[in-house]
């Protein structure tokens, strides 16, 4: 059996382990357009900020590829897939045959057509190790930076650049930063902390024009008419599934590559996992791209297992993010900001002075979402309660308590779902 | 593999498992030095949770899951499962992002704020049986073979 995996990040790693859990013998080939072995992609902001060295970017133990007998092709871009001949075509012209194919190419940063952007030198995106290297490379004569987009990538880029001692302004179109994960109070708590550390956060506004002569940037003009002087711009509006090379193939691509609950695409033998895939959402069952690190691993594992003939099914994507900004840790998961609040039971605790905020979202006495700012210990218990759809009625009053723990669950829940407590297996 | 099992009804809430754990993960491996004289006290990887003033108590710790949610969430690769099945954190590699804290449904990963590193049970690699189990006066913690579920 010949397994070919396009992409070499966390979904690919999950898939390699998934395959090897079932099939010890088959050939695994991993093709990556990047020149690095698998690295902790979210660590690029730590690398940029000088918090870690290059050595610590390695995501895997040194012997991983050898131990799992993986044939690794780096710096190689796949430009097409021929599902009839079962071949992938590389940019260099050669083809590689497969029996089972996994597309785990992740996302490409989205850069909208902003006036004045074309031809400017110091426009960056921030999703790869090389992006961090480029920014670091010009750090010596960088002074003021505008980051377009206050989502996860924008905030992490801003943090890294701030650590280099540069002035930053974040411009976010929504009414708060991290709008996908946070509600207004959580966004405000974190924005307050960022402002206290000298980062300007502008919300409900956007960059309409990049100003400057020739390739040089002198500033940006906002929709409100405000002007911010800067020499560098980081575009962090979001990522789009990197599935462009499947154009002309028979694989069904919507926003991402549409997959079933074993991560198989519309074409038998071809699978997709990670940010490039469009899999079921945990709550609605609707297909959605979900660019979440742990989810990419799980999808990769499910895909790899299925490719090798094993059985695992995907339980649906559950959004979750852990991000610490200026020593204020935050964890958010599930539905944090429901569109129809009346259908939900929402509990909150707020202490803005001390950067503390907790929000619990319930639906039909089931936990469906949580936002924790400040005190985040044991947050994972909430993710367990969400996934297991536990009726929280007996301990609903305790959910907001900062010391909420296993002991607050009923003994029955502890002995069953949260086994093996007291159980002699 | 051998795992630590909690017998909730036998727990007397004495916190000696935590003392044992802190001592084992100290530099001196001496309880008094570990608590009073070492510059940074290590943190306990097991947690005694109490309710109603200690009438109900139990010690929670890592299950070394077959498919660890902490490992899948770890962004730096610091969390790995070895061939024996033990899930460990390489604290050098850990960046303190708390993704594992977010993911572990047992609440069994601790934040070591002094070092900005995540800590969790390592099943005491230098001992025959984990320090918490040996410290428990009422066998509320048992170290034995068994499956996760």
Q: Tens of pLDDT along A178-234?
A: 998 899 999 988 998 999 999 999 999 999 999 999 999 999 999 999 999 999 999
Domain identity same for A102 and A133: no
A424 within domain boundaries: no
| Mutation site for B-interface testing, chosen from A153, A406, A409, A414 by largest number of B Cβ within 10 Å | A406
pLDDT band at residue A422 under the 50/70/90 scheme:
very low
Tell which of A192, A212, A237 closes a domain.
A237
Question: In this complex, do B107 and A408 lie within 8 Å of one another by their Cβ atoms?
Answer: no
Any idea what DSSP says for residue A421? B
- pLDDT at position A420, please? 53
By Cβ distance, the residue of B8, B57, B107 closest to A378 is: B107
The encoded tokens of residue A63 equal 């012997």
Domain identity same for A212 and A358: no
Instruction: Say if residue A157's pLDDT is above 70.
Output: yes
A420 within domain boundaries: no
> Among candidates A148, A151, A155, which has minimal Cα distance to A228?
A148
Q: Is A26 exposed, middle or buried, given 0-12, 13-18 or 19+ CB atoms closer than 10 A? A: middle
Any idea what DSSP says for residue A190? H
**A140 or B57, greater pLDDT:** A140
Give the Å distances, CA to CA, from A8 to A40, A82, A112, A332, A341.
11, 21, 27, 27, 40
Q: How far apart are CA A357 and CA A337, in angstroms?
A: 14
- pLDDT at position A117, please? 96
**A188 or A423, greater pLDDT:** A188
Instruction: Say if residue A39's pLDDT is above 60.
Output: yes
Specify the residue for token string 């003021």. Answer: A144
Domain identity same for A141 and A104: no
Domain identity same for A104 and A244: yes
A312 within domain boundaries: no
**A135 or A416, greater pLDDT:** A135
Domain identity same for A290 and A375: no
Q: Using CA coordinates, name the residue in chain B closest to A67.
A: B83
Q: How far apart are CA A250 and CA A84, in angstroms?
A: 9
- pLDDT at position A134, please? 97
Q: For chain B, give me the number of helices (H) and strands (E)?
A: 5, 8
**A420 or A158, greater pLDDT:** A158
The reply to whether omega before A420 is within 30° of 0 (cis) is: yes
Mean pLDDT value across chain A: 95
Q: Where are the domains of chain B?
A: 1-61+124-149, 64-120
The encoded tokens of residue B62 equal 């890592």
Domain identity same for A249 and A228: no
By Cβ distance, the residue of B70, B75, B102 closest to A40 is: B75
- pLDDT at position A412, please? 87
A321 within domain boundaries: no
Task: For Cα atoms A158, A162, A165, give the angle at the middle one, nearest 5 degrees.
Answer: 155
Domain identity same for A224 and A263: no
A118 within domain boundaries: no
- pLDDT at position B57, please? 83
CATH topology of domain B64-120: Alpha-Beta Plaits (3.30.70)
Question: In this complex, do A61 and B109 lie within 8 Å of one another by their Cβ atoms?
Answer: no
- pLDDT at position B148, please? 56
Encode pLDDT of A72-102 as tens digits. 999 999 999 999 999 999 999 999 999 999 9
- pLDDT at position A415, please? 80
> Among candidates A179, A193, A180, A186, which has minimal Cα distance to A348?
A186
The encoded tokens of residue A45 equal 């902001």
Structural domain total, chain A? 3
B36-51 average pLDDT score: 92
Q: What percent of chain A has pLDDT over 90?
A: 91
> Among candidates A398, A403, A333, which has minimal Cα distance to A372?
A333
Instruction: Say if residue A54's pLDDT is above 70.
Output: yes
B12-25 average pLDDT score: 96
- Partners of A383 on chain B (C-beta within 8 Å) are 69, 102-103, 105
Q: How far apart are CA A157 and CA B10, in angstroms?
A: 50
Question: In this complex, do A424 and B5 lie within 8 Å of one another by their Cβ atoms?
Answer: yes
Asked if ipTM goes beyond 0.90, one says yes
Instruction: Say if residue A7's pLDDT is above 60.
Output: yes
**A119 or B59, greater pLDDT:** A119
By Cβ distance, the residue of B49, B76, B96 closest to A406 is: B49
Encode pLDDT of B82-104 as tens digits. 999 999 999 999 999 999 999 99
Question: In this complex, do A425 and B60 lie within 8 Å of one another by their Cβ atoms?
Answer: no
In degrees and rounded to multiples of 5, residue A291 shows phi and psi of: -80, 75
- pLDDT at position A423, please? 36
Domain identity same for A377 and A291: no
| Residue B105 distance to chain A (closest CA, Å) | 4
CATH code of residue A61: 3.50.50.60
| Residue B79 distance to chain A (closest CA, Å) | 10
| Mutation site for B-interface testing, chosen from A58, A378, A395, A425 by largest number of B Cβ within 10 Å | A378
Domain that holds residue A6: 2-44+53-108+240-307
Specify the residue for token string 């069953």. Answer: A416
Instruction: Say if residue A424's pLDDT is above 70.
Output: no
Domain identity same for A85 and A149: no
Is the domain B1-61+124-149 a CATH 3.30.70.20 member? yes
A423 within domain boundaries: no
Tell which of A210, A237, A264 closes a domain.
A237
| Residue A362 distance to chain B (closest CA, Å) | 18
A55 at B interface, C-beta within 8 A: no
B94 at A interface, C-beta within 8 A: no
Domain identity same for A350 and A368: yes
Quick check: A294 and B64 in contact, CB under 8 A? Answer: no
B51 at A interface, C-beta within 8 A: yes
């Amino acid at each position: 059996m010949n397994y070919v995996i396009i992409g070499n990040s966390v979904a690919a790693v999950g898939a390699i382990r998934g395959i090897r859990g079932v099939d010890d013998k088959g050939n695994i080939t991993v093709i990556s357009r990047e020149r690095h072995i698998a690295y902790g992609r979210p660590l690029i902001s730590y690398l940029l900020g000088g918090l870690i060295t290059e050595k610590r970017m390695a995501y895997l133990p040194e012997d991983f590829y050898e131990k799992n007998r993986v044939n690794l092709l780096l710096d190689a871009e796949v430009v097409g897939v021929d599902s009839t001949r079962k071949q992938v075509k590389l940019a260099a012209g050669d083809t590689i045959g497969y029996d089972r194919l996994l597309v785990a190419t992740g996302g490409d940063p989205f850069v909208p057509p902003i006036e004045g952007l074309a031809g400017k030198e110091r426009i960056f995106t921030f999703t790869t190790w090389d992006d961090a290297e480029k920014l670091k490379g010009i750090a010596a004569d960088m002074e003021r930076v505008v980051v377009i987009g206050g989502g996860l990538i924008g905030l992490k880029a801003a943090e890294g650049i701030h650590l280099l001692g540069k002035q930053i302004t974040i411009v976010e179109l929504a009414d708060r930063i991290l709008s996908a994960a946070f509600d207004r109070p959580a966004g405000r708590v974190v924005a307050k902390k960022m402002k206290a550390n000298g980062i300007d956060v502008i919300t409900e506004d956007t960059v309409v024009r990049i100003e400057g002569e020739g390739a040089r940037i002198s500033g940006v003009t906002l929709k409100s008419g405000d002007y911010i002087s800067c020499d560098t711009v980081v575009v962090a509006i979001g990522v789009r599934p990197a599935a462009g090379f499947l154009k002309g193939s028979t694989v069904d691509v919507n926003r991402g590559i549409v997959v079933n609950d074993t991560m198989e695409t519309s074409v038998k033998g071809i699978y997709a996992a990670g940010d490039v895939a469009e899999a079921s959402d945990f709550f609605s069952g609707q297909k959605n791209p979900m660019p979440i690190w742990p989810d990419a691993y799980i999808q990769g594992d499910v895909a790899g297992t299925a490719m090798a003939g094993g059985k695992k099914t995907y339980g649906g994507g559950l959004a979750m993010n852990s991000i610490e900004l200026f020593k204020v840790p935050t964890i958010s998961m599930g539905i944090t900001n429901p569109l129809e609040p009346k259908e939900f039971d929402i509990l909150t605790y707020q202490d803005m002075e001390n950067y503390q905020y907790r929000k619990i979202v319930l639906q039909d006495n089931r936990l469906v979402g949580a936002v924790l700012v400040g005190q985040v210990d044991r947050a994972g218990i909430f993710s367990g309660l969400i996934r297991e759809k536990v009726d929280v009625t007996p301990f609903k009053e305790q959910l907001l308590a900062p010391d909420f723990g296993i002991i607050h669950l009923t003994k029955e829940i502890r002995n069953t779902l949260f086994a093996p407590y007291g159980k002699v297996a | 593999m051998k795992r630590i099992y909690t017998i909730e009804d036998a727990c007397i809430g004495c916190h000696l498992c935590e003392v044992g754990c802190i001592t084992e993960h100290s530099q001196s491996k001496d309880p008094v030095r570990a608590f009073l004289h070492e510059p940074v006290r290590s943190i306990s990887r097991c947690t005694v949770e109490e309710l109603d003033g200690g009438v109900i108590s139990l010690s929670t710790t890592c299950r070394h899951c077959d498919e660890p949610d902490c490992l899948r969430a770890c962004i730096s690769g610091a969390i790995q499962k070895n061939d024996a099945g033990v899930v460990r954190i390489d604290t050098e590699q850990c960046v303190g992002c708390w993704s594992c804290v977010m993911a572990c449904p047992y609440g069994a990963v601790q934040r070591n704020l002094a070092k900005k590193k995540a800590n969790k049970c390592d099943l005491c690699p230098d001992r025959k049986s984990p320090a918490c189990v040996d410290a428990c006066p009422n066998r509320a913690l048992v170290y034995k073979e068994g499956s996760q579920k």
